[in-house]
Structure 1
Amino acid sequence: MELHVVINGRKDLAEQLYQQLREAIGCGRLVAGAQLPPSRLLAEQLGVSRKTVSDTYAALTYEGLLIGKTGRGTFVNAGTPQSERLQSATDLACAANLAKWQSLPSPMRHPTRDSTLRYEFIGGATSRNQFPQDEWRRCTQDALRRIAQNSGFYSQPEGLPALRSAIAGHIAFSRGVNCRDSDIIVTNGAQQALDLIARVVLEPGSTVAMEDPGYSPARQLFMAMGARVASVAVDDQGIQVDRIPHGTRLIYVTPSHQFPLGMPMSPSRREALLARAFELGAIIIEDDYDSEFRYEGRPTDSLQSMDSRGVVTYVGTFSKTLLPELRLGYAVLPPAIHGAVLKAKQLTDQHSSTLPQWALAKFISEGYLLKHIRRCHTVYAGRRERILQRLAGDLSPWFEAVPTVAGFHMAALCKVPVDIPLLMQLARQVEVGLYPLDVFFHDTPVRPGLIIGFGAIETLDIDPALDKVRDILKQIG
């Protein structure tokens, strides 16, 4: 790759080169440790003598900006001070808008690899040890062969036909979703699906109805688009439909495994919700994020499968069944908004990466996904049962579990006053990651407690971790 340097005319060649390299180093365009081209190659690129380049390198080396390494070449000195950019956010015309975005909280941001604790009860994370590396590697190799044979053009914004067909078959089998391949758009995770739907449905000032407590990243997304989010309380049957306000354009729900409390929406409440959306002319987003994992009772239909009026958009993700880093999700769209969402997808990023799309299509069609879900189901069921036993046992003086039959997190509500921030702080000191419920409450009264994920923690680590939590609870009274 050529170094970007522009020489004008035939005068002061060495000075021009010196000033441009010095400025590039000072402003950070040439970062510390970057290797410069050999003097002969740079001289050929610029059409100057090799001596001009060599003398410039020597002058910058004398000043400490460059460093020569015998047998390796010339590099930007790692100790070179770089000038600060003078422009600040407050100087810009868009300062108020920047401040609005900067002020948005990040309640579900996962820790980095370096900051992950020994025992993690974080929600939404999967067990890396369960991921089928060999099967995924074979599917990825097949995907690379397919890409090597293609035309080199951009792909379809709605996603590869093979993947949309595989998704349609999978969700019809596992969740009873009623759709065709053409109803599906492949997205970069469920979050992009929410973004695309909101873009075409909402305008600044539009009303969105959301469960409270509810999924905070969706709330922040809708608010960032200028929408007014109406918090609607939930009870043991789900969202209280009669509290959804007039004028609502979009209704966001998690009916199969309410986030974060965990209870499913009752059949009668689902019927009432569908009727209310039709009455309002609103679109429902059904976020079915982890209901493949079910442990008790009869399976419940997806809300989309009950929709005879075309008001439900079904959103799913493979982040919970495979890996969060995969960033593949999808939306099953009703005809009324399909064309608009497809245009929004094309304008946003043209299409999702085809390499993981091809790999996932084969992974599903070969039966690897269902096999992986069954294997994880057994593991998660054991972890869930052990946590429930502890919450009903030696942790019962402080917490009680909210009944839940699906997913791989549960909510534990405080039975007595507990200083949750102090508990979390002391737990981190002994390598236990605990996470609070209160960040998911907005306008309804907070019910203090913990959200306990059991996807990332290994089964044998549960008891040692909860022993530490129990000891801390005894310590803080």
Structure 2
Amino acid sequence: MDLVLEPGGNGEKTVLVYRALRAAIVDGRLPAGHRLPPTRALAADLGVSRGSVATAYERLGAEGYLVSRVGSGTFVAPTPAAPGPRRAPADPLRPREPWKPRPTSGDQRPPRYDFRTGIPDATLFPFDTWRRLVTAEMRLGANNPAMYASPAGHPALRAAIARYLGVSRSLRAGPDDVVITNGTQHALDLIARVLLRPGDAVAVEDPGYPPARMLFESLGCRVACVPVDEQGLVVTALPAGCRLVYATPSHQFPLGRAMSLARRRELLDWARRRAAAIVEDDYDSEFRYRARPLEPLHSLDTAGRVIYAGTFSKSMLPSMRTGFVLAPPGLRDALAAARQLGDGYGSPPIQAALARFIDDGQLARHVRRAGREYGRRHARIAAALAAMPGLAVLPSAAGLHVTALLDAGTQAAPVVAACAAAGVAVEDLAEYSYATSQAGFVFGFGATDPSLIDEGLAIFADLLARHA
């Protein structure tokens, strides 16, 4: 127990010990039930006499802060005496806008009927296999645990990701092209810090992924929210002087449409002519339920303008905090340097275990197994929503959510609120919109209990009918 005594004369040692202990109890640094050290040990630590500590213990016991138990020691009382009135501490420091935390799935109790987006089904994950791999890497020490690791990531993982993307997404990449991140949001932060200056123009999709827009705004960029139509991002609506475009072409979030080949080529040509960068977020591309996806922008890019970002948060688990960037040669060292200045590097044992998980075929096996289950949920939810009057289900062939648009003149917010009161968590499409005015709902199905899907959708249908 570390206590700091206020400066004072020799005659005040007992008072100083008393004040230090009382302050620690009142502030909660010594919680109820905490066992205090013996008087001789604390006196030696503080450099005071044993009598000073014993007297302080007695006084605190008399005031109700401590209790003594014969043969056991001295403990902080279960309900310490209430402290006297304290002046509210000054709080002169204030953050600049727009720093405000967004609620996450871990901040709230899961609802009974959970149709929130972005949450995979953890029960489908092969924890036993993963545990063995991580344990083995921890036992081996993941190379040299006493040394700092490469900020670009574990070499074996970079090589494994390059091979995996070559098979699963037909991407030509080598280990040197890969920079490991803590997920897509971390990747966006690194990319923005090495490419953008305050005041630079950045384009995002509307509707789109709010954390991306908020990240660019927090860095002082001028963010333009560009509409999305049936073919994807409307390239003709991109602002002049735009330095970077963030897009989800394989499975637009949250509408679920894939960007057409013609629109992809148009976007690539625009970036080449304007000397701009494109960040291609290929989230959820592993889980496809119908046709093979179109080629990624990265595969079509011949001018080195596309930065491809991916994550294992959906294909494995969000808690893994592992993603990657395929970086053009001119950005590799800068991205690694940006990570080194930020959080240094990731966890070598986790990265080494993930490399083995990929190379042993475990990731592909898990994606196939989970994809079959997600496909069944996707079909059930899409069919049920399509049968509800007033809803138009948007076609989607991939991902972990389904989006449905409402008829004109109907608002989603009252239905979402009524659903929440009934234990049904469904998301309002307006939460992902900035300037667009489409009304609708977004249904995630990764966290949904399959046995409760029909029941939850029936409650939603009833509440939709009432409010429509």
TM superposition score category, shorter chain reference: over 0.9
Matched, 1:473 2:464: yes
Equivalent residue for 1:246, pick from 220, 240, 244: 240
Matched, 1:46 2:49: no
* Partner amino acid, structure 1, of 2:149: S
Per the TM alignment, residue 417 of structure 1 is displaced from its structure 2 partner at its CA by 3.7
Structure 2 residues without counterparts, runs of 5 or longer: none
Aligned to 1:86: 89
For these two proteins, the number of residue pairs brought into alignment is 464
* Partner amino acid, structure 1, of 2:455: P
Per the TM alignment, residue 158 of structure 1 is displaced from its structure 2 partner at its CA by 0.9
Tell which deviates more after alignment, 263-272 or 370-379: 263-272
CA distance in 1: counterparts of 2:311 and 2:346, whole angstroms: 14
CA distance in 2: counterparts of 1:371 and 1:81, whole angstroms: 59
Query: What does the per-residue CA deviation read over 1:419-438, in whole Å, with 9 as the maximum and x for residues that have no partner?
Result: 42221222122211111000
Per the TM alignment, residue 76 of structure 1 is displaced from its structure 2 partner at its CA by 6.2
* Partner amino acid, structure 1, of 2:98: W
Structure 1 residues without counterparts, runs of 5 or longer: none
* Partner amino acid, structure 2, of 1:414: L
Show the 5 A alignment for 1:304-315: 304-315=298-309
Show the 5 A alignment for 1:373-384: 373-384=367-378
Aligned to 2:185: 191
* Partner amino acid, structure 2, of 1:75: V
CA distance in 2: counterparts of 1:73 and 1:210, whole angstroms: 61
Show the 5 A alignment for 1:49-448: 49-68=49-68, 71=72, 73-75=74-76, 77-79=78-80, 81=82, 83=86, 85-88=88-91, 91-92=92-93, 95=94, 98-102=95-99, 104=100, 106=102, 109-112=103-106, 115-147=109-141, 150-393=144-387, 395=388, 397-443=389-435, 445-448=436-439
Tell which deviates more after alignment, 21-30 or 369-378: 21-30
Instruction: Please provide the CA RMSD for this pair.
Output: 2.2
Query: What does the per-residue CA deviation read over 1:71-129, in whole Å, with 9 as the maximum and x for residues that have no partner?
Result: 364226554556565122xx33xx3xx25134x573xx333375210111011101121
CA distance in 1: counterparts of 2:37 and 2:120, whole angstroms: 44
Contact in 2 for aligned 1:401/1:412 (Cα 8 Å): yes
Contact in 1 for aligned 2:245/2:277 (Cα 8 Å): yes
CA distance in 2: counterparts of 1:330 and 1:149, whole angstroms: 21
Per the TM alignment, residue 314 of structure 1 is displaced from its structure 2 partner at its CA by 0.8
Per the TM alignment, residue 378 of structure 1 is displaced from its structure 2 partner at its CA by 0.3
Query: What does the per-residue CA deviation read over 1:256-315, in whole Å, with 9 as the maximum and x for residues that have no partner?
Result: 000110101111111111111122221111111111111112332221111121111111
Query: What does the per-residue CA deviation read over 1:154-179, in whole Å, with 9 as the maximum and x for residues that have no partner?
Result: 11111111111111111121112221
CA distance in 2: counterparts of 1:110 and 1:365, whole angstroms: 32
CA distance in 2: counterparts of 1:84 and 1:156, whole angstroms: 48
Per the TM alignment, residue 251 of structure 1 is displaced from its structure 2 partner at its CA by 0.7
Per the TM alignment, residue 25 of structure 1 is displaced from its structure 2 partner at its CA by 3.4
Contact in 1 for aligned 2:33/2:75 (Cα 8 Å): no
Per the TM alignment, residue 61 of structure 1 is displaced from its structure 2 partner at its CA by 2.5
Cα pair distance change 1:468/1:65, threshold 3 Å: same
Matched, 1:455 2:449: no
Aligned to 1:19: 19
CA distance in 2: counterparts of 1:446 and 1:57, whole angstroms: 67
Work out the percentage of aligned pairs sharing the same amino acid.
41
Cα pair distance change 1:61/1:357, threshold 3 Å: farther
Cα pair distance change 1:247/1:79, threshold 3 Å: farther
* Partner amino acid, structure 1, of 2:16: Q
* Partner amino acid, structure 1, of 2:462: D
* Partner amino acid, structure 1, of 2:251: H
Query: What does the per-residue CA deviation read over 1:390-421, in whole Å, with 9 as the maximum and x for residues that have no partner?
Result: 1222x1x1211111111111211002543422
Cα pair distance change 1:238/1:33, threshold 3 Å: farther
Contact in 2 for aligned 1:257/1:264 (Cα 8 Å): yes
CA distance in 2: counterparts of 1:219 and 1:265, whole angstroms: 20
* Partner amino acid, structure 2, of 1:400: A
Query: What does the per-residue CA deviation read over 1:40-81, in whole Å, with 9 as the maximum and x for residues that have no partner?
Result: 322222233333222212222322333445636422655455
Contact in 1 for aligned 2:416/2:426 (Cα 8 Å): yes
Contact in 2 for aligned 1:35/1:76 (Cα 8 Å): no
Contact in 2 for aligned 1:294/1:406 (Cα 8 Å): yes
* Structure 1 segments of 4+ aligned residues over 6 angstroms from their partners: none
Query: What does the per-residue CA deviation read over 1:439-475, in whole Å, with 9 as the maximum and x for residues that have no partner?
Result: 11112x3101011111110222111110111121233
Query: What does the per-residue CA deviation read over 1:299-355, in whole Å, with 9 as the maximum and x for residues that have no partner?
Result: 322211111211111111111111112211111111122222111100001111223
Cα pair distance change 1:80/1:310, threshold 3 Å: farther
Cα pair distance change 1:177/1:114, threshold 3 Å: same
SS in 2 for 1:74: strand
Tell which deviates more after alignment, 143-152 or 239-248: 143-152
